[in-house]
Amino acid sequence: MAEIINLRQARKARERIVKDEKAAENRVAFGRPKKARTLAESRKAVETARHEGHRLRGDDPEA
């Protein structure tokens, strides 16, 4: 005998999967909030400035 399936639940489960896939694509496409992006950028700028400040010589690329 075949297993009985509730068609409404199957439809909703299928729609939920599609919705989750779309949400995952949007997370990749739109990324983080603006506040998090600007915070990371400013931290990276400070870190780069500190790192460059410890150079022993000037801007000579061959040194």
Q: Which residue has the tokens 């199957």?
A: 10
Which ranges of the chain does DSSP label H, i.e. alpha helix?
Answer: 7-30, 34-53
Banded pLDDT at 59 (limits 50, 70, 90): low
What pLDDT sits at residue 43? 96
Is residue 42 predicted with pLDDT exceeding 80?
yes
Report d(CA 14, CA 4) in Å as an integer. 17
